[in-house]
A = this chain, B = another copy of it.
C-alpha cells in the first residue's frame, strides 16, 4: 500500500497553538521533510512539530531555494517531488510541516501540483494564521459586521498595500520588512499612522508589539512580522 503525503500547519509559533489533528498527523509520519532555506537554521515550525515525531521517523533534509528564478524553482520542486514519490511508493507516510496555515504563502503549496500529477494522496491540515494570532494578542477583531479585510504580502513597493487600504476596511500586511519605510509613509499619507499594530514573532516568547509609526519607519523590522491596519482605529 502506498503512503500518504501530509501538509501540516502547526500554527503561528506558540507550541500550544497546534491542533490535535496536526499532532496526530505528525505522529503518523515515517518520513519528516526538513526544509532548508540554505541558512542552516532550524525553522520554528520544525521545532514545534518535532516534539511529536516518533523515534523511528526518518528526517530528510530538502532544499527549497529562496530565489525568484522560475526555472530553478521548478527544477527543485520536481526533484523534491521525485524524492517524495520514492518514499510514498515504499508505503511511507511523509510529513511536511509549515508555520501558520498551509494555505497562506507556504512552501508546501508550491510542491502540491507536482505531487498531484504523480497521483500521490495528499492531506492538508489547516493551522492558525499569524494574523489571527496578532488580533487575538491585542483582543481585537480582524473584522466585524459587514467589514471586509484584505491580506497583502509586501513586496519591494507598496502598490498592493495602497490598493487594499483604499478598498477594504481592514488590511493585514505580511512580510512588512520588505518595504517598512515606504509602508510607514503610506500610512502617514492616509492618516492611518495611529491605526495599526505590528507584532513580530507573534505568540512566541520573543514576541514584540509595535504601535509607534517611527519604529516602523526607521528601525529594522524582523522578517516574521505581521501588521493589522484598521481604518476605524485600534
Please tell me if A94 contacts chain B, counting CB pairs below 8 Å.
Answer: no
Q: Which of B11, B122, B144, B163 contacts A110 (CB 8 A)?
A: B144
Residue of B nearest to A105 (CB): B143
Number of copies: 2
Please tell me if A136 contacts chain B, counting CB pairs below 8 Å.
Answer: yes
The answer to whether B144 and A151 touch across the interface, beta carbons within 8 angstroms, is no
> A1-32 vs B: 1/0 string, CB under 8 Å?
00000010101101111111100100000000
> A80-111 vs B: 1/0 string, CB under 8 Å?
00000000000000000000011111100110
The answer to whether A19 and B128 touch across the interface, beta carbons within 8 angstroms, is yes
Known A109-B141, A149-B151: A20·B17 in contact at CB below 8 Å: yes
Interface residue total, chain A, C-beta cutoff 8 A: 58
Please tell me if A155 contacts chain B, counting CB pairs below 8 Å.
Answer: yes
The answer to whether A127 and B128 touch across the interface, beta carbons within 8 angstroms, is yes
The answer to whether A125 and B136 touch across the interface, beta carbons within 8 angstroms, is yes
Q: Which of B125, B126, B128, B151 contacts A126 (CB 8 A)?
A: B128
Contacts of A110 on B, CB cut-off 8 Å? 144
Please tell me if A142 contacts chain B, counting CB pairs below 8 Å.
Answer: yes
Contacts of A148 on B, CB cut-off 8 Å? 150-153, 160, 163-164
- A138 CB → nearest B CB, Å: 8
> A130-148 vs B: 1/0 string, CB under 8 Å?
0111011101111111111
Cα A143 to Cα B151 in complex, Å, equals 9
Could you pull out 16 A-B pairs where Cβ atoms are within 8 angstroms?
A9-B128, A9-B136, A11-B19, A17-B126, A19-B20, A101-B142, A103-B132, A105-B145, A109-B144, A116-B139, A126-B128, A129-B129, A129-B132, A148-B150, A148-B160, A163-B167
Q: Which A positions have Cβ atoms within 8 angstroms of B?
A: 7, 9, 11-12, 14-21, 24, 101-106, 109-110, 112, 116, 122-129, 131-133, 135-137, 139-153, 155, 160, 163-164, 167-168
